[in-house]
Amino acid sequence: MEGMSVEVPDPNELLRLQPTVRYDDRNDQGRGGIRHLSTVLPAISAAIGCPMPTPIHADPGLAREQLGLPEASSAVIVLVDGLGFWNLAMRRGHAPYLRSLLDDSACSRPISTCYPSTTVAAMSTFGTGTCPGLTAMTGYTQLNVQTDAICQLIQFKDAPEPQELQRQPTIFERLTAGGVRVTSSGLPKFASSPLTQAAFRGADYISNVLPRDRVLAAAKAARTPGLTYLYIRDADKTGHNYGWDSDRWIGAFERIDAQLGLLSRSVPKGTLIVITADHGMISTDPAQRIDIAQEPVLARGVRTVGGEPRALMLYLEPGQSADEVASRWRERLGDSALVRTREEAVADGVYGQVEPRVLPMIGDVLVSAAGRTTIVDSRIQTDKATRLPSVHGSQTSAEMDIPLLIDVA
């Protein structure tokens, strides 16, 4: 396989808002299409001989070919939470195993995640092979239309039941129904978590506390033909707490690389290994922090706020005009954010296909931050939550571009 060096763009370029990513199967070298997180599991299903088309991706075989996945009887898919393509590329010197894959021309350019570029939306997009407009998981927090209050979708706090909210069948449960072995290796606390039920139901879950044991459990499972899923959360967790460019993050990154190297050495010969992520991360700038609570021009007409500091959803007071509120926010924020009404965002394909039941869950006005801007509301968020050193969620390359690294043991 041909070697290729990844050239990292100017950091400011990575923080500019990018055009909306598309969900269709056209592969025109642009953003999205087949080169999208939603395509990864359908493509792997074709690679292991049990193709699973979805409402978004009708031809898993084409996806497999376009993404460059070889056929294999056993595959391991690894999702590294928070490890964006450019986070990886800029710290590649600390990761000999990942660097060896990144240098392969087949892995040297990113694929795209969904919008918002955040865990709950991306995990359900990944797990179902669809999009947030179908999974009904449109942000870290969103409106629970049953209670008319904001719910949180990591722990499903004040949210509907996972399978009531997220009704799309997962790739895992469809493969299992087709007689394919599907194994998930992860932390005990995630075995039956609401997010697992929503995005990854259907797998045989193997729990282990220690990272090494989770890796070796995945490698053991791969001895039997089928699909194995391994989730690694440390890049995201460390990035939020200390910053993705901190020494602590680099240490976590080095340990992740070691775990993945161990996986590659431990799986049976011929096993397909695919490594991806749900989103990237950016470093925040306290000087670019905007607090709605201190901005009457922004607070006026807004009943409550969902989403997160890089991807807000504004739910308006009755009788308020979304166009008027959006215009006022555009005037205040200028180039710091892209402001769209729900109708504009849906028409632009931001959430992919959107079921009618999902529409009221999406904010009346959507705000996507550019640069290092964060937009918070100290009336409803903790001080720590409004001052995280690294975040994600918006429509920049730094947040939307994710790796697709391919290895065959």
Give residues with Cβ within 8 angstroms of 287, minimum separation 6: none
Q: Return d(Cα 348, Cα 334) in angstroms, integer.
A: 20
pLDDT the model gives residue 176: 98
Using DSSP, state whether 148 is helix, strand or coil.
coil
pLDDT the model gives residue 393: 98
Helical residues (DSSP H) of 267-361, grouped into ranges: 296-299, 322-333, 342-347
Q: Which residues of 253-289 are buried (b: 16+ CB within 10 A; e: fewer)?
A: bebbbbbbbbbbebbeeebbbbbbbbbbbbbbeeeee
Q: Return d(Cα 361, Cα 321) in angstroms, integer.
A: 17
Edge-first strand order for the sheet with 302-308 is 302-308, 311-316, 365-369, 337-341
Distance of CA 31 to the CA centre of its chain: 15
Separation in Å, CA 248 to CA 99, 241, 391, 394 = 20, 9, 16, 24
What are the tens digits of pLDDT across the range 161-180?
999 999 999 999 999 999 99
Mean of pLDDT over the chain: 96
Q: Return d(Cα 120, Cα 199) in angstroms, integer.
A: 9
Q: Are 166 and 135 in contact (CB under 8 A)?
A: yes
Q: What confidence category does residue 30 fall into, taking pLDDT thresholds of 50, 70 and 90?
A: low
Place of tokens 């990144």: 102
On whether the pTM is more than 0.85, the answer is: yes
- Res 339 pLDDT > 80: yes
Give me the phi and psi of 402, to 5 degrees please: -130, 160
- Listed in order, the ranges of the chain carrying CATH 3.30.1360.180 are 286-389
Separation in Å, CA 93 to CA 238, 268, 383 = 19, 28, 35
Q: Return d(Cα 140, Cα 311) in angstroms, integer.
A: 9
Q: Return d(Cα 351, Cα 134) in angstroms, integer.
A: 8
What are the tens digits of pLDDT across the range 108-163?
999 999 999 999 999 999 999 999 999 999 999 999 999 999 999 999 999 999 99
Q: Are 81 and 278 in contact (CB under 8 A)?
A: yes
Q: Are 275 and 267 in contact (CB under 8 A)?
A: no
Look up residue 360 and give its DSSP letter: G
Q: Return d(Cα 242, Cα 247) in angstroms, integer.
A: 9
Q: Return d(Cα 86, Cα 145) in angstroms, integer.
A: 37
Mean of pLDDT values over 9-13 = 94
| Fold classification of 286-389 (topology level) | Gyrase A; domain 2 (3.30.1360)
What are the tens digits of pLDDT across the range 34-81?
999 999 999 999 999 999 999 999 999 999 999 999 999 999 999 999
Give me the phi and psi of 79, to 5 degrees please: -115, 115
Distance of CA 236 to the CA centre of its chain: 11
pLDDT the model gives residue 31: 72
The highest-level CATH class for domain 11-283+396-408 is: alpha beta
Q: Are 182 and 176 in contact (CB under 8 A)?
A: yes
- Res 28 pLDDT > 90: no
The token duo for 239 is 């990035």
What are the tens digits of pLDDT across the range 243-278?
999 999 999 999 999 999 999 999 999 999 999 999
- Listed in order, the ranges of the chain carrying CATH 3.40.720.10 are 11-283+396-408
pLDDT the model gives residue 219: 98
What are the tens digits of pLDDT across the range 236-245?
999 999 999 9
Q: Are 132 and 357 in contact (CB under 8 A)?
A: no
Give residues with Cβ within 8 angstroms of 229, minimum separation 6: 76, 77, 78, 79, 172, 182, 183, 184, 185, 200, 203, 218
pLDDT the model gives residue 1: 43
Helical residues (DSSP H) of 104-246, grouped into ranges: 119-128, 132-135, 162-165, 171-177, 194-199, 211-221, 234-242
Q: By CB neighbour count within 10 A (0-12 exposed, 13-18 middle, 19+ buried), where does 95 fall?
A: buried
**Which candidate, 261, 310, 315, 25, places its Cα nearest to that of 151?**
315
- Res 96 pLDDT > 90: yes
Report the length, in residues, of the chain: 409
